[in-house]
Structure 1
Amino acid sequence: MADSPVAQHIGIILIGDELLSGKRIDKHMPQVISILHERGLELSWARLVGDDAALLERTLAETTASNDIVFSFGGIGATPDDRTRQCAARALGRELEINAQGRAILEDKFGDEAYPNRIHMVEWPAGAEVIPNPINRVPGFSVDHHHFVPGFPKMAWPMVAWVLDEHYAHLHTDERSVEYLVEVFDTPESALIDLMQAIMNEHPTVRIACLPSAEGERKIEFGVRGRPADAASAFDALYAALSDAGIPMGACTSR
């Protein structure tokens, strides 16, 4: 894989009309979050796209223009409704070609039955690299920081883990993000805006969010998330500011 600057975010693209129609429920996002967490990484964004080729191409044009690490799930088979390979090539401005390593894998697995149709499963954008499939050996592919895997969970998840360990081990860390939480009571959000903005300005490396109660209670949950030292410092500052303002609070928790 060609060298490029370190990606700042990790995203996923979930592909398929069956997800948008409700015929199937996505299982990938929770598992990817878990796989990333095991390596001290976090998911930054997710997109859900149907099988419409124009929309998928537009989505991939946007994501490939970024430096994000992206995992795309589904649509890399050989049937006419599998359009991800073709859309990725057009988005990247590359020709489709039969990948030599992929061809060798399919010929070894299927023999003569690799032709005339199965071989299209390794017809990828020029310059793509193999992602090994430990379940049935039919590979996925990587192009720069974009990684295309099947929609089948038992195949896709070990392939995602392999990519992270093979290409992004330098990003792994034992320092997992933490989140500190506190509830405030009997205080409107409008009274907390300036206080919250000041803490965010002073601690730009953490994420601070407020979540009002959805049950009609006059209660707001504050969360501060980031690397342990940064999150602890920002939360201490937030708690002190709330205390100084005389705002009633509940017990502090973390996760």
Structure 2
Amino acid sequence: MSQANKQAENKTNKLTAGVILIGNELLSGRVEDKNLPYIAKKLSDRGIKVVECRIIADTPEAIIDTVNEFRKKHTYVFTTGGIGPTHDDITTRCVAKAFGVEIYRDDKTVSAFKAHYGDRATEATYRMCDFPVGADLLENSVSVAPGFRMENVYVMAGIPRVMQSMFDVALPTLEEGEPIQEVSFTAHTSEGKIGIQLEAIQNANTKVDIGSYPFLKDGKPTVTLVIRSVDQEAVHKAAHAIGQMLEDLEAEIIDAPDAWPQAAAV
């Protein structure tokens, strides 16, 4: 299915995204990923739901297979990492293979590199001027090296500041989905006390996603319950049920939606 057909189909269906984090350094624990939270928050604000994220190694098999898998089942795919000048930066060539196209060296990017680096540029540096045939480049304000797009796949740097600049260039070009509504309750209670009732509320409110996030506050077990959906009425209904559950269990509610307890059970 072409990207145009995918977007037409998704006018009535939710827009989804998959994120592929590429790098042995992530899998080894040497580097902590900071890109997913940025991508997911920005996409959520645009009505695009990140439904899958995968961390993979810098190997051709992993990159090619994952890109092909993700681009077939998600509206948009975003990759980070592996587009630098070193031997293990193989993402660009792997994406080209996933799409069955050759690599070309972009003259405009070469000129930009020569102007920026001068005599310091090496053949390794110029590898960042190579792109799959048919790619649209993601020029950005932070790095002279662009990211790129192949159909619904956006390929970006792993360095957070550079990735963010590339992503911000791509974001306005994405289709806008229905805005995701979110409300939350925070209460002094434990998941053990609310687990059964919360499951029943989720089962009765299938249009929303309910997340439970436990922590300690002032030495007391505390839980934040987050209700999310594109359906505002469904969010209000689930929020009413959760607020009522917490009151029935005599949990101390320390934060609640503005509409609680006035929210009607719709």
- TM-score norm. by structure 2 comes to 0.73
Residue 202 (structure 2) aligns with: 196
For residues 129-140 of structure 1, the aligned pairs below 5 Å read 129-140=136-147
User: Which whole-Å CA distance do the structure 1 matches of 2:63 and 2:186 have between them?
Assistant: 41
Q: Cα deviations across residues 78-106 of structure 1 (Å, max 9, x unaligned)?
A: 432111112212223x122215xx32221
Q: 2:165 aligns with which of 158, 161, 171?
A: 158
Q: Cα deviations across residues 2-31 of structure 1 (Å, max 9, x unaligned)?
A: 634236212322211112222222221233
User: Which whole-Å CA distance do the structure 1 matches of 2:199 and 2:177 have between them?
Assistant: 35
Q: 1:72 to 1:238 in 2, by over 3 A?
A: same
User: Which whole-Å CA distance do the structure 2 matches of 1:136 and 1:218 have between them?
Assistant: 45
> Is structure 2 residue 87 aligned with structure 1 residue 86?
no
Q: 1:115 to 1:209 in 2, by over 3 A?
A: closer
Residue 176 (structure 2) aligns with: 171
For residues 76-155 of structure 1, the aligned pairs below 5 Å read 76-92=83-99, 94-98=100-104, 102-110=106-114, 116-155=123-162
Q: Cα deviations across residues 17-51 of structure 1 (Å, max 9, x unaligned)?
A: 11222222222123324444564655433221121
User: Which whole-Å CA distance do the structure 2 matches of 1:237 and 1:151 have between them?
Assistant: 42
User: Which whole-Å CA distance do the structure 2 matches of 1:67 and 1:155 have between them?
Assistant: 24
SS at match of 2:54: strand
Q: Is the 8 A contact 2:209 2:227 kept in 1?
A: yes
User: Which whole-Å CA distance do the structure 1 matches of 2:79 and 2:150 have between them?
Assistant: 11
Q: Cα deviations across residues 125-176 of structure 1 (Å, max 9, x unaligned)?
A: 33211110322321111011111111222221011011011x12x4177x55
Q: Is the 8 A contact 2:20 2:79 kept in 1?
A: yes
Q: 1:212 to 1:31 in 2, by over 3 A?
A: closer
Instruction: Select between 225-234 and 55-64 the one with higher mean Cα deviation.
Output: 225-234
Q: RMSD over aligned Cα, in angstroms?
A: 3.6
Q: 2:33 aligns with which of 7, 26, 32?
A: 26
Q: Is the 8 A contact 2:47 2:180 kept in 1?
A: yes
Could you tell me how far 1:108 is from its partner in structure 2?
Answer: 3.9
User: Which whole-Å CA distance do the structure 1 matches of 2:209 and 2:55 have between them?
Assistant: 24
**What stretches of structure 2 of length at least 5 have no aligned partner?**
259-266
Give the letter for the 1:66 counterpart. K
Could you tell me how far 1:211 is from its partner in structure 2?
Answer: 5.1
User: Which whole-Å CA distance do the structure 2 matches of 1:105 and 1:210 have between them?
Assistant: 47
**What stretches of structure 1 of length at least 5 have no aligned partner?**
none
SS at match of 1:196: helix
User: Which whole-Å CA distance do the structure 1 matches of 2:148 and 2:25 have between them?
Assistant: 23
Residue 65 (structure 1) aligns with: 72
Q: 1:197 to 1:78 in 2, by over 3 A?
A: same
Residue 226 (structure 1) aligns with: 229
Q: 1:209 aligns with which of 208, 211, 222?
A: 211
Q: 1:5 to 1:108 in 2, by over 3 A?
A: same
Give the letter for the 2:238 counterpart. A
Q: 1:121 to 1:10 in 2, by over 3 A?
A: same
Could you tell me how far 1:243 is from its partner in structure 2?
Answer: 7.8
Q: Is the 8 A contact 2:137 2:149 kept in 1?
A: yes
Q: Is the 8 A contact 1:96 1:123 kept in 2?
A: no
Give the letter for the 2:237 counterpart. S
User: Which whole-Å CA distance do the structure 1 matches of 2:184 and 2:194 have between them?
Assistant: 21
